[in-house]
Structure 1
């Protein structure tokens, strides 16, 4: 994985201008062992309910990035240590959560990249509410299934196409 988000922005200024490439605001915290990750987006829209997050991470990730629109809720965690292990073991490149995680020490021990707004000790509901593989909006940026996600220490990019 040889990229830097700064270089991708510099080399693709026209894509930033036309909206093909977008930068998420710098509100996401780094978790997990992989500070740098990239892959195609698999999208979820949930609210304080992580049953769909679990069932998705139980499938083979094939190097994809799970992007979870949790509505920006800071009241419950959508990803915990067990889900971090599932992501690692099932080949997910990373997880971006527009919401919270928990079990930070456990997630930091996983060989996966995770970005979230913060940590919260309370677990989410498990009712199964939500949708998968639909266009979502996180932090004002649209993310469609199959978009490319690039994350490193400088930020998170969402691209409509794979970048060189």
Structure 2
């Protein structure tokens, strides 16, 4: 489905939440839409790796690492996302290998870049509500992203 977030906001103002303008695009797909799968990380990206190695069914992983300044996703995780049919990843954190991630046809939005990867070993949490950028991201909500921004809705939106 072709969509524009601006048009969706105009047509469904009561159903759309708009993420604050904190994200930049680092993926090959400049537009993405899908249901949200939430991930809360407090260090290691092990839980995210396991998730992206599973079938994505066109969903979007929304990852909260509390804006910790280490890279959570690079080209290897983007390859997993592509191979397993994930529409995209939105990270309240940082990414690396962006020359390569921009060549992979998966959406990737993050706060910025950081060359250092996450090294801590700790478990993350799946399927929990995460909050950042003025939005609560709930498992199963719908996310739409393009050059104008990122919006979330509890209902699927069609033009």
TM over 0.5, shorter chain = yes
How many residues align? The count is: 158
Instruction: For residue 13 of structure 1, give the secondary structure of its aligned residue in structure 2.
Output: coil
Match of 1:110 among 85, 104, 107: 104
1:130 Cα deviation (Å)?
Answer: 1.5
Unaligned runs of 5+ in 1: 16-20
Instruction: For residue 41 of structure 1, give the secondary structure of its aligned residue in structure 2.
Output: strand
Residue 35 (structure 1) aligned with residue 30 (structure 2)? yes
Partner of 2:136: 142
Residue 101 (structure 1) aligned with residue 70 (structure 2)? no
Match of 1:55 among 35, 50, 57: 50
For 2:93 and 2:76, how far apart are their aligned partners in 1?
A: 17
For 2:132 and 2:51, how far apart are their aligned partners in 1?
A: 19
Q: Deviations over 1:111-147 (max 9, x none)?
A: 1010000010000025242100011112221011100
Unaligned runs of 5+ in 2: none
TM-score, normalised to structure 1's length?
Answer: 0.93
Check conservation: 1:48, 1:77, Cα contact below 8 A.
no
Q: Deviations over 1:23-61 (max 9, x none)?
A: 001110111110000000000001232111101100000
Partner of 1:81: 75
Check conservation: 1:76, 1:122, Cα contact below 8 A.
yes
Structure 1 pair 119–80 and aligned structure 2 pair: CA distance change class (3 A) = same
1:3 Cα deviation (Å)?
Answer: 0.6
Instruction: For residue 14 of structure 2, give the secondary structure of its aligned residue in structure 1.
Output: helix
Check conservation: 2:24, 2:112, Cα contact below 8 A.
yes
Instruction: For residue 14 of structure 1, give the secondary structure of its aligned residue in structure 2.
Output: coil
